[in-house]
Amino acid sequence: MNEANQGEAIIRNYDEAAEYIMRIGILPLASCIPEFPSLESITRKESWHSGEEDDPWTWRTRFPYEGKAGYGKFMKKKAFLISAEWFPLVYACLGMGRDAENCYQDGLLSKTAWELYQLIDIDQGIDTRALRERAHMKAVEDKKAFDRAVLELQETMLIVISGVKTKVNEAGETNGWSSTAYETTEHWMKQNGIGKAPCSKQEAGQQLLARLQDNCSSRAFAYFKKQFQQ
């Protein structure tokens, strides 16, 4: 049975999920691709947001923290996990192919996104709370612009979600919700020993589609073709 068609597969723990992602290459967090698995579809619904060890919601940031998969909203504003092996090809295919400063100077990146990128580059692993504060975007009316810029940086693969940080008070006690943390993609790759793919955007797309063609349905393949065909 094709890996991508195992709709009945049930993943019970983090290690099984990590192995599954390694085999399948690309796994969306939620079910957003026709006839293609997601972390949501291959795990028990009752485990989500349970706060227990088998809670898939907590795994999503453990994968990038351990360097087993890149995580971020890389396609269609949806969150994806991409295995360390496949990540260089996806980065080569969907990435901008140049550094953030050149993207901004060439009009390919918004001013807000460029400013946020610089703050992330200075403080790798910075969390959302600190990033909004340093960008002077803590006001409620700034949230949409902030979220839009962070999404822009993920969809251009300039940053990844690298984990979460828990807010603590002066006594060192947990105080409030955890906050998403970010790193520049190149820093995350370097930290985890993931090299760049020595190929063009077009070649990377062709290699990805070749890997996917025999392992997913025609409907799922059509989705990926729209994303990866250059």
Query: Per-residue pLDDT for 1 more than 80?
Result: no
Tokens found for residue 146: 């902030």
Q: Are residues 114 and 132 in the same domain?
A: yes
Q: Could you tell me which residues come within 8 angstroms of residue 69 by beta carbon, excluding any fewer than 6 positions away? A: 18, 21, 27, 63, 81, 82, 83, 84, 87
- Whether residues 82 and 146 share a domain: the answer is no
Query: For position 37, what pLDDT does the model report?
Result: 96
For the stretch 6-34, pLDDT in tens is: 455 689 999 999 999 999 999 999 999 99
Distance of CA 73 to the CA centre of its chain: 5
pLDDT value at 116 more than 90:
yes
Same domain, 208 and 225: yes
Do 106 and 188 share a domain, yes or no? yes
Q: Do 138 and 169 lie in a common domain?
A: yes
Q: Are residues 183 and 169 in the same domain?
A: yes
Query: Are 146 and 167 within one domain?
Result: yes
Quick one: 119 and 190 in the same domain?
yes
Which tops the pLDDT comparison, 214 or 117? 117
Confidence of residue 98 (pLDDT cuts 50, 70, 90): confident
Number of domains, the chain:
2
Instruction: Say yes or no: 131 and 71 in one domain.
Output: no
pLDDT for the residue numbered 89: 98
Q: What is the mean pLDDT of residues 141-164?
A: 97
pLDDT in tens, 176-218: 567 899 999 999 999 999 999 999 999 999 999 999 998 899 9
* Cα separations in angstroms, 1 against 36, 66, 76, 212, 214: 13, 29, 28, 14, 11
203 and 225 co-located in one domain? yes
Contacts (Cβ under 8 Å, ≥6 apart) of 132: 138, 142, 146
Q: Which helix (H) or strand (E) holds 181?
A: strand 174-184
Using a 10 angstrom Cβ sphere, with 0-12 exposed, 13-18 middle and 19 or more buried, the burial of residue 215 is middle
Question: Looking up tokens 């090809």, which residue turns up?
Answer: 89
pTM: 0.90
Quote the domain boundaries for residue 8: 1-95+199-230
Same domain for 211 and 164: no
Same domain flag for 191 and 207: no
